[in-house]
Amino acid sequence: MEQYIIKGGNPLVGEVEIGGAKNAALAILSAAIMTDETVLIDNLPDVNDINVLLEAISGIGASVQRVDRHTVRINGSGVGSMSIEYEYIKKIRASYYLLGALLGKYHKAEVALPGGCNIGSRPIDQHLKGFRALGADVEIEHGKIVAEAEKLRGTHLYFDVVSVGATINVMMAAAMAEGTTILENVAKEPHVVDVANFLNSMGANIKGAGTDVIKIRGVEKLHKSEYSIIPDQIEAGTFMFAAAATKGDVTVLNVIPKHLEATIAKLQEIGCEVEEFDDAVRVVAKRRLKSTHVKTLPYPGYPTDMQPQIGVTLALAQGTSIITESIFENRFKYLDELARMGANVKIEGNSATIQGVEKLSGARVSAPDLRAGAALCIAGLATDGITIVDDIVYIQRGYERFEEKLRSLGAVIERVSSEKEIQKFKLKVG
């Protein structure tokens, strides 16, 4: 298994280019099969999750042509199978976006039930509630979701839970339903807006994405489009916290500062200087940071996908911080790993109390999930000594060229996969 080995202690300094938003791209690539014409999508992040989804899309008969690392041409006219195999959904839950796309276009879809994952049980009851409200019969048979409809009719649905996935999935299915659909209590994340904008670029009629109410007037057909994915605010925030935790000076390029408001507010609150430009944000941390309280909330609140990153940063701050994770029930596992580096943390239910310490010590830790893995790398970068992060396959799922981008900012980090390589690294860094 590959690992990252890190010699911490260097402040990160410089500029880093941010890629396209993984969570927008997963939905947009799925929606691309809703037209029989060709769709060109660029600013795709070159990460494992995207590559697996593209395999799933070509697996059902669509033509998928990689133009370059960050651009793909998709034509869904060849789609013959409406069934997405378990092997794909096991690798990435977001294959379930093909459910909304196939149901919307072909009124039939079969997708293996996604399991839970390391951050919680992650039910999909709201997705199914939405499909049923549009008139689909949805059954769970032998671990598969089977959805079918004579036709889909517009509906008025109030989600019981604010869900990014359910909002996007039902919005896709409703885009080609007969009549008008009103969705309320919806997610407002930038990637929800990006999917709505993409569907509209194909001829859909969706209004209100990014607000509490989305209005969708169903259309008969969708047509070709050329579309560019929005920048990934979570990748950007991850590098911004890496700057904060290492007392560095980093500018993230190709971002939309508006999407980073909650993250910027917290960075300023804990003592960072943050400068915003049109499509860049600079984070400077000159002295020891201060504690704060943070509660994760649906957008525009503080993002749950940025919770581990602030957690490791607060472990070194002056004072006692409290983090409340209100979105997922099991997203503090990284704190157990951080405690092995000397952090002083106490978890009680969905809140964690972090007593800042002067220093952490390098250790061997394991990435429990994508964002926590990136956060543990930040902890290693902020710590004198050597840290080894195991199970970095999680990090590869959502961060393109992670170690290369960190090295370009002065980090001493390498990907290794044997004791021999670890010894070699230790000799090299002394």
By the rule CB under 6 A, 246 interacts with ligand EPZ: no
Phi, psi of 25 (to 5 degrees): -60, -40
Structure tokens at 288: 């020891």
Establish if 304 lies at the interface with ligand EPZ (CB under 6 A): yes
Stretch that binds ligand EPZ, among 99-107, 142-150, 157-165, 345-353 (CB under 6 A): 157-165
327 near ligand EPZ (CB under 6 A): yes
Q: Name the residue type at position 420.
A: K
Site size for ligand EPZ (CB under 6 A): 23
Q: Which entry of 13, 40, 113, 117 is annotated as an active-site residue?
A: 117
**Cβ neighbours, 10 Å, residue 41:** 23
Residue among 257 and 368 whose Cβ is closer to ligand EPZ? 368
Sequence length of the chain is 430
Please tell me the distance from the alpha carbon of residue 321 to that of residue 307, in angstroms, as a whole number. Answer: 13
28 to each of 39, 98, 105, 189, 227, how far by Cα in Å? 10, 10, 14, 14, 9
Where would I find the H helices in 150-226?
Answer: 164-175, 190-201
Residues 94-123 that bind ligand EPZ (CB under 6 A): 94, 120, 122-123
| Nearest residue (CB) to ligand EPZ, 304 versus 313 | 304
Smallest separation, CB 165 to ligand EPZ (Å):
3
Residue 14 Cβ vs ligand EPZ, minimum distance, rounded to whole Å: 25
Structure tokens at 258: 């508006």
Enter the tokens of residue 53.
């989804």
Between residues 75 and 296, which has the closer beta carbon with respect to ligand EPZ?
Answer: 296
Minimum Å gap between C-beta 232 and ligand EPZ is 9
Query: CB-wise, 204 or 367, nearer to ligand EPZ?
Result: 367
Rounded distance, CA 3 to CA 377, Å?
11
What are the start-end ranges of the E strands in 300-343? Answer: 320-324
d(C-alpha 129, C-alpha 252), whole Å = 39
CA distance 299 to 297: 6
Q: How distant is the alpha carbon of residue 314 from its chain centre?
A: 22
Nearer to ligand EPZ, 144 or 224 (CB): 144
What minimum distance in Å lies between the beta carbon of 243 and ligand EPZ? 20
**Are residues 115 and 96 in contact, defined by beta-carbon separation less than 8 angstroms?**
no
Task: Encode 114-153: b = buried (16+ Cβ within 10 Å), e = exposed.
Answer: beebbbeebebebbbbbbebbbbebeeeeebbbbbbeebb
C-beta closer to ligand EPZ: residue 5 or 164: 164
CA 36 to the chain's CA centroid: 28
Residue showing the smallest CB distance to ligand EPZ in the complex: 165
Site for ligand EPZ in 17-56 (CB under 6 A): 23, 26
| Least distance in angstroms from the C-beta of 57 to ligand EPZ | 15
Which x/- pattern, by CB under 6 A, does the window 163-202 give for ligand EPZ?
xxxx--------------------x---------------
Q: Of the candidates 107, 127, 259, 266, which one interacts with ligand EPZ according to CB under 6 A?
A: 127
- Which of 282, 371 has the CB closer to ligand EPZ? 371
Stretch that binds ligand EPZ, among 162-170, 220-228, 279-287, 400-408 (CB under 6 A): 162-170
Spatial separation of the C-alpha atoms in residues 196 and 207, rounded to whole Å:
8
Structure tokens at 215: 């209005």
Min CB(230)–ligand EPZ separation in Å: 13
d(CA 185, CA 342): 41
Q: Residues 59 to 78: which contact ligand EPZ by CB under 6 A?
A: none
Stretch that binds ligand EPZ, among 125-133, 261-269, 306-314, 353-361 (CB under 6 A): 125-133
Which of residues 67 and 213 has its CB atom nearest to ligand EPZ in the complex? 213
Is residue 265 involved in binding ligand EPZ (CB under 6 A)?
Answer: no
Min dist CB 33 to ligand EPZ, Å, is: 17
Q: Are 409 and 402 in contact (CB under 8 A)?
A: no
CA-closest candidate to residue 198, choices 331, 66, 37, 30: 30
Q: Cβ(256)–Cβ(282) under 8 Å?
A: no
Q: Is 377 one of the annotated active-site residues of the chain?
A: no
Residues that bind ligand EPZ (CB under 6 A): 23, 26, 94, 120, 122-127, 161, 163-166, 187, 304-305, 327-328, 370-371, 398
Active site residues: 117
